[in-house]
Structure 1
Amino acid sequence: MTTEQRALELAKASEAFSKFLGEFSANDLLDWVSHELGHPAALDDYQQVGDILTKATPPRHLLHIISGNTPHAGLQSLLRGLLIGANNIVKLPSQPTSADDTAILPEIRKFHQSLSPSLQSLSSFTHELDDKQLHSADTVVAIGSDQAIEAIHSRLIPKQRFIPHGHKISFALIDKPSSKNAQLAAVDASLFNQQGCLSPHAIYVKNNASDFAPMLATAMQDLSQKIPRSPISISESGAIRNLRETLRFQAAQDPANTQLYESDTDTSWTVIYENDSTLRPSPQNRVIFVRPWPSTPEDLGNELEYLSTIALSPLSGLLKEVECLKPPRICQLGKAQQPHLFWHHDGFAPLASLVTWQDIHL
Structure 2
Amino acid sequence: MSSARQRAALLAPLFGLKPPALTAWLEVELGSTDALDRWTPRAPGIASRAVAPRTIYHLCPGNVPEAGLQSLLIGLLLGSRNVAKLPRDPAVRKAIRAFAASLPAPLRPFLALRTAFRPKEVAGPNIDAVIAYGGDEAVAAVRARLRPDQVFLPYGHRVSLLWLGKLVKTAPGLAAAVAHDVSAHAQLGCLSPQAVYLAPGSDAVAFCEALARALHALPATPPPLAHAAFIRNAKHAVRAAGGRLWESASPLGSTVLLDPDPAFRDGYTHRTVAVRIASPKAVEKALLPFREKISTVGLRAPFSPADEALALALGAERICPVGQCQQPPLFRHHDGRPRLADLVKWVDREVL
TM-score clears 0.5: yes
Q: Which moved more, 1:131-140 or 1:342-351?
A: 131-140
After superposition, the C-alpha distances for 1:59-82 in whole angstroms (9 at most, x for unaligned) are 111011022110111011111111
| 1:167–1:315 CA distance, 2 compared to 1 (3 A) | farther
CA shift for structure 1 position 206: 1.8
CA shift for structure 1 position 14: 1.6
Matches within 5 A, 1:267-346: 267-296=252-281, 297-317=284-304, 318-346=307-335
CA distance in 2, matches of 1:216, 1:259: 9
CA distance in 2, matches of 1:129, 1:299: 38
After superposition, the C-alpha distances for 1:118-138 in whole angstroms (9 at most, x for unaligned) are 111111110212222111321
Runs of 4+ in 1 over 4 A off after TM superposition: none
Match of 2:233 in 1: 242
List alignment gaps of at least 5 residues for structure 2.
Answer: none
CA distance in 2, matches of 1:217, 1:241: 20
CA shift for structure 1 position 283: 2.7
Percent identity at matched positions?
34
Structure 2 contact 241–260 (Cα < 8 Å) conserved: no
After superposition, the C-alpha distances for 1:249-268 in whole angstroms (9 at most, x for unaligned) are 332xxxxxx22222223141
CA shift for structure 1 position 213: 4.6
Partner of 1:173, secondary structure, is strand
Matches within 5 A, 1:1-362: 1-15=2-16, 24-50=17-43, 51-93=45-87, 95=88, 97=90, 103-136=91-124, 137-177=127-167, 178-179=170-171, 180-209=173-202, 211-225=203-217, 227-251=218-242, 258-296=243-281, 297-317=284-304, 318-362=307-351
CA shift for structure 1 position 217: 4.2
Which residue type is aligned with residue 157 of structure 1? R
| 1:90–1:236 CA distance, 2 compared to 1 (3 A) | same
| 1:248–1:278 CA distance, 2 compared to 1 (3 A) | closer
Structure 1 contact 36–349 (Cα < 8 Å) conserved: yes
Partner of 1:301, secondary structure, is helix
Structure 1 contact 194–200 (Cα < 8 Å) conserved: yes
CA shift for structure 1 position 57: 0.9
After superposition, the C-alpha distances for 1:151-196 in whole angstroms (9 at most, x for unaligned) are 1112112111111110100001112331432221111111111011
Structure 1 contact 261–270 (Cα < 8 Å) conserved: yes
CA shift for structure 1 position 96: 5.7
Q: Which moved more, 1:145-154 or 1:105-114?
A: 105-114
Which residue type is aligned with residue 116 of structure 1? P
Partner of 1:316, secondary structure, is coil
CA shift for structure 1 position 277: 2.6
CA shift for structure 1 position 207: 3.6
CA distance in 1, matches of 2:314, 2:229: 34
CA shift for structure 1 position 295: 4.1
Q: CA RMSD in A?
A: 1.8
Structure 1 contact 185–216 (Cα < 8 Å) conserved: no
Q: Which moved more, 1:327-336 or 1:148-157?
A: 148-157
What count of residue pairs does the alignment treat as equivalent? Answer: 340
Partner of 2:249, secondary structure, is coil
Which residue type is aligned with residue 146 of structure 1? D
Structure 1 contact 282–289 (Cα < 8 Å) conserved: no
| 1:219–1:81 CA distance, 2 compared to 1 (3 A) | same
| 1:181–1:222 CA distance, 2 compared to 1 (3 A) | closer
Partner of 2:250, secondary structure, is coil
